[in-house]
Structure 1
Amino acid sequence: MTQTDPPPLTVVRPGEGPTGDLGAIGVQFKLWGHDTGGALSIVEHPFPVGALVPPHLHTLEDEYSIVLEGEIGFRSGDREVVLGAGGYITKPRGELHAMWNAGSVPARMIEIISPAGFEHFFREVAELAADGSATAERGAELIERYGLRFAEPDWLPGVIDRYGLATS
């Protein structure tokens, strides 16, 4: 029997972790793929009132969300739900989904990404936003590299109207 070194211990205290602006929502990085042997990564997303993450799907990872504060609406495939603090939802790869602040106060959720890797998309988007170098071409390259697909389903205008969401 061969003894191996245990994985490194990672400690992220409440409120710690680098942050960034993704446009409609923010991101705070909690666990990176290198912290978990590539199994998963974890980020937190603050959702300002009116925030909408447009419909998209992932081709490389699954996402699992836990609402921490406020109310967040989710649409995945043909299912729609609004979850308050303590609510969980799965968003499987290959299925179109969107998220939005469904309430009148700021909201926040944890996003577990499996396998890890997509946290670097968030990092790169936040870096482009911070240094002002974002362009449509750079955005398209990131979207392609990270296996994202965007769409405008027929249900989107209804969600925007019902919740008074910002679209830019």
Structure 2
Amino acid sequence: MVFKLFSHETGGAVSIVEHPFAVGALVAPHLHTREDEYSIVTEGEIGFRSGDREVVLGAGGYITKPRGELHTMWNAGKTPARMIEVIAPGGFEGFFHDLSDLMAGSPPAEGEMARLAAEYGLEFATPDWLPDLIARYGLTPPPGRA
């Protein structure tokens, strides 16, 4: 990922991160308790499920993912994809930075991912619709899900 704008540069108002999506990539379903997200696809096709809404967007498409709403994203195409994520209020970009540190080298110790998620008000879930989504798009399941 590429950090485009840090919350300390905006007085905490927003942060902006660019995410690449390899073919078959799927972000584990989760919800945010502290921030809203706004995703803008810049390349390829990215699928989104947020609450009961499911959509596949191409370059220029966008979606809102309000705090408290379970959501996931995946590469819905046959080529790599990218999106810009606007996060408001800012601060959640720290999760991505800390996650990179946690995943560097050996696998994280048991409970470390849960600790990090709790620190940032992030909650993971395994909804009943996940296996169907994985099958329809030929996705790689997140560890411990599906």
Q: How would you bin the TM-score normalised by the shorter chain?
A: over 0.9
Q: Which residue identity is paired with 1:106?
A: P
2:66 is aligned with 1:60: no
Distance in 2 separating the partners of 1:41 and 1:132: 29
2:77 is aligned with 1:103: yes
1:30 corresponds to: 4
Which protein is bigger by CA-based radius of gyration? Answer: 1
**Residue number among 89, 105, 120 corresponding to 1:146 in the alignment:** 120
Q: TM-score, normalised by structure 2?
A: 0.94
Q: Identity over the aligned pairs, expressed in percent?
A: 69
2:22 is aligned with 1:45: no
2:45 corresponds to: 71
Offset at residue 136 of structure 1 (A) = 2.7
Identify which of structures 1 and 2 has the higher relative contact order when contacts are C-alpha pairs closer than 8 Å and 6+ apart: 2
* Cα deviation 1:64-108 (Å, max 9, x = unaligned): 000000000000111100000000100000000000000000000
Runs of 5+ consecutive residues of structure 1 not aligned to the other structure: 1-26
2:25 is aligned with 1:88: no
Offset at residue 112 of structure 1 (A) = 0.4
Distance in 2 separating the partners of 1:133 and 1:36: 34
Q: TM-score, normalised by structure 1?
A: 0.82
2:83 is aligned with 1:130: no
* Cα deviation 1:15-50 (Å, max 9, x = unaligned): xxxxxxxxxxxx111100111110000000000000
Distance in 2 separating the partners of 1:133 and 1:72: 28
Offset at residue 131 of structure 1 (A) = 4.0
Offset at residue 133 of structure 1 (A) = 6.0
Instruction: Count how many residue pairs are aligned between Structure 1 and Structure 2.
Output: 142
